[in-house]
Chains A and B, each alone.
Chain A
């Protein structure tokens, strides 16, 4: 055989624990699989579940980095598994842990939804307006640059990486985190939302909000959508300080 490309054997150390089983204890389980060209963690985990361990739990939906389901800690860094290539780990050893902070469903599967839904309610993440829109009529114009800026912040996929990477969150369990602060920045920018900065202060103007942030900026480092979290947190803090 004239096989030029040597395939590697990858070692996956995967967190395994079923919290519903009172006899189970958390452990790392190792699986060895052959690497294929262009392999992602998505491909690898599905291979493991289909061929080696039918019980392994993890979450993928879009497998294109769009939906935010598959955030996990990969060799120490919270990121999206679906678009992480195995070739980016030269040593061939990959450790997968579920995101911390969030409720564990089992193995790598976590309940981000519950946390994010509570967050959405907490910051009231929708347009607040008294205006009744007549949907038969031409829409109100919006400055194109403003629309683009709002969209930039609207791109958050609520994957949870910023929360898992947040040093403040470890120290202040009620800290709202970058995802929530980004929502506030998004609605503060949106001319359709009638909430004033004073209203926003009521939501984030304490140490559970924008004044709690220690500026370690793990959020900004790990955000898979590259949202300008650092800039927006600094901006909100400046605006909030000016209010009082």
Chain B
């Protein structure tokens, strides 16, 4: 049991973790990244459609800027997000794109002249100016006013991840792969690093650091049907939860993507609809315009997923051995477009289903599936846990709270690098300003405690080929996934959530006495999975409890028994923590103050109308904003914004962004 020392310890080697690591390494702090898998295989690579940033290059993006990106993001979040974070994010996103350009991402570029596109299922021609030829192109995505999503065909995450990983290699960041952080080391509300298990030889070690950053992504694998990679089990967020000190936020905010491939759940990018693809039902009928006359297939994801489920419930789904589904039709975009811009989608359809979606009239079977975790480790605007000092988090693992109760397409892969840039600077500052005394006894105690936990699991050995399915962790895992899918899914009710909660608690208790096959501490996936499933069950309980107590519908959280968004009572963030030895989470809340919002709550512009229980402050705040505008007609947009809701950024990222034709306006 060795002890290693580093300045910054980053747990998770996807885009967010690597970008933080580059920032701290460049600032002169010794940085170590731990990853379950080779970092270039991280789930970031699966981000297909693109990254939102208000460059405003294309003719369809003209007039775009930080203000509109901010507004789209807040509306998308159903006013659940931290508006200051949304501002920080919208401002830095164009810089992130331009940085990635310098690092080699081959963004798809604009061609001058006429271009045929499909808008609202009709062929249209748009014309690009000569002066934007060769600048970065963008496509349409759900819930956005402008074409803002920058892309490399439909392999955006892959290109970004390789560029960032190569940059990390170039900067000599220490990257350790096949390592799993299994416990945080902490004392008196300060985090000192983590206990780490080597997944190849099973050895335990401790990594002590001034700052520990969790960037381990989401927890989609808690659900039966998910677009997430198999490693997205939320164990990073659970590490923080199990301290009993750090808290998780808004765990009940779980996004379902409208178009997961049936049956295996592989994502069909939003770019399919952004580029003009449509949804059809069992009769081949395009149903979305009936529900959402304005945004149609391109309303936000929570709305489209609900409308699809509603339509299936009306008996309009296509029956299949894997349950009812709907059709995604991209054949109307034409073969040339598909083979250039939606190539991986075509490849996936051919490999997994044996169909070519570019053939006329060949449609792709899809259904909404778990896709994204808006909730995560509660952090402040600098990315630090307000409860456990020295612990930072960013990307999907965190609830920095950019996304509130629903995330817009193209904002997650953007969040990874943007939060990595911003939080990376704050982590560096923390490392400069913090003096720490490393306590090797503390590290040894935590390592021993973990080893005892392993011993406890390994006392129950049985040959599963003889004793089939008897108390196997895999049965418990599968039951959990099914409960989450059936009872904590797109539409939720109090009674189902309560029964899910009770059943999950029972499973957590059962997980204490499962059997594994062999008693070795290495080369034993059964042991690893037992440790992970216990963590996943705790997260499931946090999600279910948050959903049960939240008696309103907001963004992706939809209660059929409480269909309205209740700003009066529920404009607040759910915080969950976990006491050691307990079988249920402790819940508390953090209020969101309307009087400090730049954009007070209102109608999103899509979804059901008149569905809000208003808070009196919304009107009050709106009036005060109007008054400020009237009294100061000379304010430019930056001054106005600063008067409404001042926010801070690291000095490196404060400058204004330049755009074609308007400079830094």
Residues of A within 8 A of B (CB): 18, 20-21, 37-38, 40, 43, 49-57, 59-69, 83, 85, 105-106, 111-114, 116-117, 120-121, 124-127, 129, 131, 133, 135-144, 147-148, 150-151, 154-155, 157-158, 190, 192-193
Contact = CB atoms under 8 A, between A and B. Distances in A.
Nearest to B469: A51
Interface in B131-147: 133-136
A141 B660 contact: no
11 contacts: A38-B352, A40-B264, A50-B474, A54-B525, A111-B178, A111-B200, A113-B177, A135-B102, A136-B98, A136-B655, A154-B104
A38 to B, nearest CB: 6
A193 B523 CA distance: 43
Contacts of B523: 18, 20-21, 55, 57, 106
B522 interface: yes
B83 to A, nearest CB: 23
Given A112-B38, A126-B167, A136-B656, A83 B351 contact: yes
B109 A142 contact: yes
Contacts of B95: 135-136
Contacts of B177: 113-114
B542 interface: no
Given A113-B38, A141-B135, A192-B101, 5 more contacts: A61-B43, A138-B135, A139-B97, A141-B133, A143-B109
B40 interface: yes
Nearest to B530: A54
A141 B529 CA distance: 48
A55 B524 contact: yes
B208 interface: no
Contact of A154 (B106, B178, B656): B106
Interface string B97-131: 11101111011111100000000000000000000
Contacts of A131: 102
A107 B464 CA distance: 19
B638 to A, nearest CB: 14
Contacts of A53: 465, 517
Contacts of A117: 38, 169, 175
A139 B170 contact: no
Contacts of B135: 138-139, 141
Interface residues of B, number: 82
Contacts of A52: 464-465
A63 B526 contact: no
A145 B267 CA distance: 28
B111 A144 contact: yes
A147 B660 contact: no
A148 B108 contact: yes
A52 B474 CA distance: 11
Contacts of B348: 64-65, 83
Contact of B153 (A20, A54, A151): A151
A56 B525 contact: yes
A224 B231 CA distance: 22
Interface in B474-497: 474
Lowest 4 CB-CB distances: which A-B pairs, in order? A141-B134, A113-B38, A54-B526, A133-B102
Interface stretch (B155-163, B303-311, B598-606): B155-163
Scoring A49, A51, A112 by chain B CB atoms within 10 A of each residue's CB, the highest score goes to A51
A133 B94 CA distance: 13
B352 A154 contact: no
Nearest to B231: A61
A64 B267 contact: yes
A164 to B, nearest CB: 16
Given A64-B46, A142-B109, A158 B267 contact: no
A139 B37 contact: no
Given A106-B523, A120-B169, A151 B106 contact: yes
A113 B165 CA distance: 12
A20 B45 contact: no
Contact of B351 (A65, A114, A135, A150): A65
B518 A116 contact: no
Nearest to B351: A83
Given A21-B523, A55-B525, A133-B98, A61 B41 contact: yes
B516 A54 contact: yes
B169 A55 contact: no
Contacts of B524: 54-55
Contacts of B351: 65, 83, 85
A147 B134 CA distance: 9
B342 interface: no
A192 B229 contact: no
A22 B85 CA distance: 54
Contacts of A112: 38
Given A66-B158, A141-B109, A55 B37 contact: no
Q: Which of B96, B351, B516 has the most CB of A within 10 A?
A: B351
Contact of B37 (A51, A57, A69): A69
B634 to A, nearest CB: 25
A126 B522 contact: no
A61 B180 CA distance: 15
A127 B104 contact: yes
A140 B655 CA distance: 19
B133 A155 contact: no
Interface string B485-528: 00000000000000000000000000000001110001111100
Given A54-B516, A83-B352, A138 B658 contact: yes
